[in-house]
Structures are given as C-alpha cells and as structure tokens.
Structure 1
Amino acid sequence: MNSNLSGKKIAIFGGNGFIGSHLTSKLCEEACQIHIITRNPKKKRKFFFANDPGQVNFEKIDNYNQLNVTEKIKGCDIVFNLVGILAENKSSNFNFVHEEIPHLIANGCKENKVRNFIHLSALNVNKISDSSYAKSKYKGELKLKESFPSSTIVRPSVVFGRGDNFTNFFSNLSKFSLFLPVIGTPEIEIKKNKFPKIDFRKKVKFQPIYVGDLVKFLISISNKKNKTYDLAGPFEKTFEQIFDIILKYKRRKRIYIPIPFFAANLIAFFLEVLPNAPLTQDQVKLLKYNSVSKKGLQNLKQFVKTPLSLETVIKNYL
C-alpha cells in the first residue's frame, strides 16, 4: 500500500470509535504521527493500537468551536473526520454533529493550510430526502466543500468488523431471543377506496463493507484531493441473508419476524423514550432505501483488489 505518509502528522476526529480505532491501528504501521481529537480521551481502544510509545496521542476537545478546532489541527498534514451519530440524544443532534462539526474542521483545515481533509459520510445520503440523518449528512458535505473545496468525501455502505454496532448487535440479540426482526417486509400500502396491498417481496438490501478494507481505502486515498467516493462491499445482502450468516457461524436457529414499516415506526416511537434506543423513527425511514452501489464496489477495488465478504471475515471477530 503506497500511501506516502512517512513523517506526516495526522489528526483524526472521532479516532477512538469503531472505524477510527481500526484506522489508527492501520496507520500505526506507517511512520507517521497520529493525533486523536476526542471528547473522551480516556475511552481508548488499546486493543486496536500498535505498541509504539508516542506515535499515538489523545487530545481532548471539550467544546467544538472554531477556535478549539483550528488549534487542534495546527501543524497537521492530513485530517480525517469520522465523527457521527446514528440517533440524536440530549447531548448530540444531527445538525451539530453532521453539519457544524465538519464545517468547523474544514475552516480549520483552510486556516492551517492542511494538505488534505478526508470526511466520512454515508452511502446515498444525497438521494434520501425524508431522513433527518441523511439530510444532515448531505448538508454537512455541502458546507465543508464551501470552506475547503479540495476535501475528499467517502460514502460507505454499512460497515462491519470487530467492534461494530451492526452484526454484533444482532448476534447479541440472538443470544436472548428466539425471534429476529426483519424490517420492511412485508410492506402494507393503503390507498383511498382500495383494498390494502401487502407486498411480501420488498426487501431492503445492503452492500456491507469490511472495516479493514475501508481503512485501507482511506489511507490509500489520503493524498487525493477534491474527490467523492461511494463505497460498497463485494455482495448485496438482505436482512435475512445477514442473519443467516450470523446464525450459521453461531450455530443457532431463530425465527424471522417480518415487520412492516408502519409497525416498525410505531415500535420505534415507544423505544425512543429509552436513553439508548435500539431503533428510532428516523432509522426506520432510512431502512426504506437500499444501501447498495455498483460504482461503490468499483471504487473500492481501485485500491483494495480483493474486498473481503461478511462470510469470510465473521469468524475472525464475532
């Protein structure tokens, strides 16, 4: 992997999260200095980091304002932004996390004449208009481009691997429940003066990408400017197919319960009163859209010649 990162100073916002910790681990193989900017520096995922004293530094940022962000970026050659949330809570909302923070970082990159800024977004957010998550992600892309036009945006499909909140969540759920929910099939369509139409064929599809392949890609394009990459893994999968893979490896048998969107939305409404809701109404909206991209796989293969599938990798971490 020819990344030319030797001697470079790299800042990672959100570097102690799932993707960030894997990125840090991979960057530790390079002769570069890594600065993780985070609100929670004590939350270190030491398991993922190389044991090279001094190569990785954690820097706390108490408040995301322009002065603080610009100061943290000072002297950096490359900046990664991996900050993101899947659901809003009392301390974080989509507007601030997905729009304002990227804008602040982009301004800081411009002020400090950073060589490159790589921003992690999500697949198809530019095509989804009814989800607050997707809209905030896309607006964040537009804002950062206004401030730092040469920045590079990466939009992956759902990411899996050690420490993820996707396959691990359903694996843990299958420990305690005989049933697994399949949202989006069937879908019940009600039209005025017509009998309700039940569609059992509609199934949301994902194109899961392995976190190891994603971070290889991020490092490989760290010198690319003014690019936008959709990214996707080697195979399209439905919920049922993903469950099949998890259960086969765990040697479990479970019953799949189809949940139409209106029922999932109602369930999410009540779940949202919980501090860490496992499902929100906004996430139900997202599940109406496929997270797949043929171009995304082509982009990945430019830098990762043989992308790994869920079937291949799952035994290594689940």
Structure 2
Amino acid sequence: MAKLVTIFGGSGFLGRQVARQMASRGWRVRVAVRRPDEALFTRTYGAVGQVVPVLCNIRDEASVRLAMSDADAVVNCVNIHGREGKSNFQNVFVEGAEHIARLSKEMGVAQVVHVSGIGVDASSDSEYIAGKAKGEAAVLELRPDAVVLRPSVMFGIGDQFYNRFAAMALLGPVMPIVGGKTKLQPVSVNDVALAAANAAECKAEPGIYELGGPDVLTVREVVAQTLAAIVRRRLVVNLPFWIARIGSGVFGVASMLTGGIVKNPLNRDQLALLSQDNVVAEGAKSFADLGIEPIAAEMVLDEYLWRFRPSGQYEEIKRSAKNLRAL
C-alpha cells in the first residue's frame, strides 16, 4: 500500500501545494484542517480517494492523534496571523506544534517536517515571532530528527504579498508603505512545497533550513516590481514606523469595537516583521543543501497579477495593437 502523509493546515497557501506534491509522488494524503468541508477542493489533487480532508483542531491532542494515525510522515503547515476565535499564537504555534512532535514520536511516525519562518526569535516582543520560535524549539526538543523549514515571505497564486501591494495600488495615486528599506528574499511557494515534500520523503538531513529566493529586495523594490507587473504608476511614500504604529493602534481599536468589520491593514506583529530584514543568514542550510534552485518572482508575477492591470488580461494585446501600422 502507498505511504500516508498527514498535512496539518493542508488546505492553506503552502499546505495545498505540499498536498499536490505528495499526491503527484503517489502518496496517500490526509489533509488535516478545522473545516474539512471547505477543503474539498484538495480531493482533486490526486486519484479518487488519494487525497482526503479530515477534521482536526491542532489545539486538541485527541484530534491530532486521530489525524496522525498510521501516517508515515507529517508536515505541519498551520499558520495564523492573529487571534482567530479560540486560536492564538501560544496554543497553535507552540502547544499545537508540541502535540504533533510528541504524538509523532509516541506513534512511531518516521518523518516530521515543521514549517516556521526566517527571523524567528523567542525573545521578540512580537507574539507571532516569539511563538514561531518556541514552536520550532518544542519540535526539535522532542524530535531532533525533524526537518524545520524557515521560508522568507512566500509568493505565488493567491499570495498575500504581491497581491496585497497590487490591490493597494488601485486605491489611488499615492501608495503609502512601511519599512521601505527592509530587505526581503521572496520565495516561491512551490519551491518551499518541493522542499517540504523532499523532506517528508527523507531526502533531507535533519536540521533547520532557511529558504529564500534568488533575489534580495527591499520592500520599496518589491513595490516597484509589483507596479511594473500591473503597468501602473504610483507615488510611493514610505511611512515612519512610529506613524504606522499609531495607525495600527487606531485601526486595532476600530476593529475590536466593530467586531472585525473594520479591518486592521497592518497589525502589531506584521509591523514587527517589517522592522527586521527577512533574508537567509550567512552559513545557514538553504535550498542549495536540498538540491533545489529557487525561481525569482519576476518569472511568475504575470501569471496572477494581470487582473490588476488597467485592461486586465487584455493589457498586452492593447499595447501590441498600438505598434500596428495602418495599411
């Protein structure tokens, strides 16, 4: 019988790509999510019955145990950006990761892959950054044979990175940003999924891998790249962090008072992430150690940012038509 992998958070931005990878390699895939009825699309990633969404709440130990039963490998892709009901950074990033690591050891799961992030720091004032660090530490304490992947900010169809900047560009001629000089190393979600799938198949040595794309860009350069892809001109204004913190606080209060109707465009933890460079550290294990050559964002932006162009999918046709000469 084909091997079985349980992917926690398998319907998310990264998780669904890991599910695709594992299914294409002939594995049976169990997609462990809180709302399996909203993850039915993952069943199309393989043959009939090969990919199955199952109910699992990472906060609940019994739920995790059931989702992991008979698994040969587990991949933890669960991620949240703020409090979601009863879920928070402590019980998801730390306690949830500990559940997976401890139960995988107890149940004899051969391989554990844990997805964290570049720049994690247990002493950080950011609950997000500190939670990520404590989670991977808990995993490595219980499963020193685990593979921990620390991707930089990920891009790809459906991302919340380039898509977000492109959407901001539609709001007016002035485009305010924060952390314009902060360096990032955008990485393809497909490359990270490839790394996770290889690790699940025991094709990676245990340890921590920092995953970044081929280009190191400032936030301002990323915005310029986005504007070029959507064929728009905007006046980009870099706001000081102290102004951004005030604005974030105001929107945070408004969001709380309106029950989430008013959204906070940039919360405290996102500001903390933007205040530090997010690049692969010198000497760290990386894609090179996994035999993977990552692709640059500019290679794929046109595939999904075209909808933000003035004429959408017809922008290229219109530009070409301008070069036609009348007979």
TM-score range normalised by the length of the shorter chain: 0.7 to 0.9
The equivalent of 1:212 in structure 2 is 190
Once residues 219 and 43 of structure 2 are traced to their aligned partners in structure 1, the CA distance between those partners, rounded to angstroms, is 28
- Structural mapping, 1:207-246, within 5 Å: 207-222=185-200, 223=202, 224=204, 226-246=206-226
Distance 1:269 1:153 in 2: 33
Equivalent position to 1:68, from 50, 63, 66: 63
Give the TM-score normalised by structure 2: 0.84
How far apart are 1:176 and its partner, in Å? 2.5
Q: 4+ runs of 1 displaced by more than 6 Å? A: none
The answer to whether structure 1 residue 309 and structure 2 residue 296 are counterparts is yes
The SS at the match of 2:196 is: helix
SS in 2 for 1:42: helix
Say if 2:185 and 2:279, in contact at 8 Å, map to a contact too. Answer: yes
Q: Deviations over 1:35-79 (max 9, x none)?
A: 000001122273894352111001012573222211211100000
Asked if the contact 2:124/2:130 (under 8 Å) is kept, the reply is yes
- Decide whether the 8 Å contact of 2:173 with 2:235 is kept in 1: yes
* Residue number in structure 1 paired with 2:244: 264
Q: Does 1:80 align with 2:75?
A: yes
Distance change (3 Å), C-alpha of 1:296 and 1:235: farther
Q: How many residues align?
A: 296
SS across alignment from 1:36: strand
Aligned partners of 1:156 and 1:260: how far apart in 2?
A: 26
Does structure 2 conserve the Cα–Cα contact (< 8 Å) formed by 1:209 and 1:232?
yes
Q: Aligned equivalents of 1:59 and 1:91: distance in 2? A: 20
Structure with greater proportional helix content: 2
Structure 2 Cα separation of the partners of residues 296 and 97 of structure 1: 30
Q: Which runs of 5+ in 2 are unaligned?
A: 306-327
How far apart are the structure 1 equivalents of 2:205 and 2:111? 7
- Aligned residue among 145, 148, 162 for 2:143: 148
The separation in 1 between residues aligned to 2:61 and 2:209, in whole angstroms, is 27
Cα deviation digits, residues 278-304 of structure 1 (max 9, x gap): 211222122110001155886113335
What stretches of structure 1 of length at least 5 have no aligned partner?
1-5, 186-202
- What CA distance in whole angstroms lies between the structure 1 residues aligned with 2:130 and 2:292? 32
* Residue from 9, 19, 22 that aligns with 2:17: 22
Q: Does 1:52 align with 2:21?
A: no
RMSD, aligned CA: 2.1
| C-alpha contact 1:207 1:236 (8 A) present in aligned 2 | yes
Identity %: 29
CA distance in 2, matches of 1:246, 1:45: 32
Q: Secondary structure at the match of 2:242?
A: helix
